[in-house]
């Protein structure tokens, strides 16, 4: 059996970040304010690395390639439709509002962003301060001309759909959806393996250099869905509840499937050759038993399990998100 890989993340210190990743999620970040922790990443802009074992210090993508060179697929058959590793997982600490932004779909990104993927993503709200909210689409339909005029006239906020957010909420953000994570939210984001973002509005603030951050209004207008957003229920679907374990569907699309587990004692994950499995712990601590060995975990840890027929036993009261393709 191929052992689980504990992953070390990449950090970003964007201006809207806070301190929770270091103070509450045990992240060894060098920054005073850390906005993002790229937990599972094979992206060129920041790759997670393996901690411990024979592959210690190597990037996850290098480990995947090493296995492939030896005829072993640890990513899984379901990922074969993609020409690169399909998923990127982040922990996001929004001390302040993120910019209002939008992501392109694959076709637009491939044409305009040097062959990059587009970005569809899902947000799982881990923590939310009282009154926290986010932007999820528009509150009314707009034409492209009206959208551009609203950006130009600094009236776009009048058209944004602001939604209250609480722990346990799930927001599926399809490419083309105008969105913004709001201040006071701590989120686990599961997304396509892409770093392409078109910033539309930035609340009038400046970057670390004292200058307004770059906007990408024309591209945003090209890709944005300008219909009214009508979804109102963001409660994940309960799939199973037995033996002290609750399983919820967070998202399911061609790029990834995400499930939320709450376990009060012990849960068994069954991995297959169809897909790798990645687990990010949102609370608790305990041990992972795999292949006759035990690996400790605590809140904030992320593990990669190879695509293989195996059983992974997670012991200890905890909550986590499992991602597969």
What are the catalytic residues? 199
From CA 149, how far away is CA 37, in angstroms rounded? Answer: 35
- Extract the tokens encoding 287: 């041990």
d(Cα 310, Cα 323) in Å, to the nearest integer?
16
List all residues 6 or more positions away from 310 whose beta carbon is below 8 Å from its beta carbon. Answer: 1, 270, 271, 290, 291
Which of 289, 290, 284 lies closest to 264 in space, CA to CA? 284
Residue with tokens 């929004």: 94
> In 280-315, which positions are buried (b, 16+ CB within 10 angstroms) versus exposed (e)?
bbbebebebbbeeeebebebbbbbbbbbbebebebb
DSSP 308: S
What tokens were used for 237?
Answer: 């679907």
Please name the residues in contact with 197: beta carbons below 8 A apart, sequence gap of 6 or more.
101, 102, 103, 119, 216
The two three-digit tokens of residue 13, written as one number = 């210190």
Query: Can you tell me the distance from the alpha carbon of 259 to that of 135, in angstroms, rounded to the nearest whole number?
Result: 23
Look at strands 160-164 and 133-138 and give their pairing. Answer: antiparallel
Report the alpha-carbon distance of residue 18 to residue 31 in Å, rounded: 10
Residues 193/93, Cβ–Cβ less than 8 Å:
no
Greatest pairwise CA separation for the chain in angstroms: 63
Measured distance CA(284)–CA(266) in Å, rounded: 12
Label residue 261 exposed, middle or buried (CB < 10 Å: 0-12, 13-18, 19+).
buried
């Amino acid at each position: 059996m191929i052992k689980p890989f504990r992953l070390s993340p990449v950090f970003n210190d964007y201006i809207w970040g806070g301190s929770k990743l270091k103070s509450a999620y045990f992240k060894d970040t060098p920054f005073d304010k850390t906005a993002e922790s790229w937990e599972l990443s094979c992206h060129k802009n920041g790759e997670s690395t393996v901690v411990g074992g024979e592959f210690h210090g190597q990037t996850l993508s290098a480990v995947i390639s090493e296995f492939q060179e030896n005829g072993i697929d640890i990513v899984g058959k379901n990922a074969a439709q993609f020409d690169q590793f399909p998923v990127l997982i982040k922990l996001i600490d929004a001390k302040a509002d993120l910019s209002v932004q939008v992501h392109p779909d694959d076709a637009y990104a491939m044409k305009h962003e040097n062959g990059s993927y587009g970005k569809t993503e899902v947000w799982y709200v881990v923590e939310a301060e009282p009154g926290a909210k986010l932007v999820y689409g528009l509150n009314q339909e707009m034409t492209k001309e009206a959208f551009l005029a609203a950006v130009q006239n600094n009236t776009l906020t009048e058209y944004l759909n602001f939604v209250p957010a609480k722990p346990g909420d799930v927001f599926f953000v399809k490419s083309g959806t105008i969105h913004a994570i709001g201040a006071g939210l701590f989120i686990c984001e599961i997304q396509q393996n892409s770093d392409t973002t078109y910033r539309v509005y930035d609340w009038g603030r400046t970057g670390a250099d004292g200058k307004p951050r770059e906007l990408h209004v024309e591209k945003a207008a090209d890709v944005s869905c300008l219909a009214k957003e009508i979804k109102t229920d963001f409660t994940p679907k309960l799939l199973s509840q037995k033996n002290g374990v609750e399983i919820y569907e967070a998202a399911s699309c061609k790029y990834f499937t995400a499930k939320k587990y709450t376990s009060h004692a012990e849960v068994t994950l069954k991995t297959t050759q169809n897909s790798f499995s990645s687990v990010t712990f949102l609370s608790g601590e305990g041990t992972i038993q795999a292949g006759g060995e035990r690996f400790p975990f605590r809140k904030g840890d992320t593990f990669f399990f190879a695509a293989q027929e195996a059983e992974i036993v997670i012991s200890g009261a905890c909550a986590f998100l499992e991602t597969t393709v």
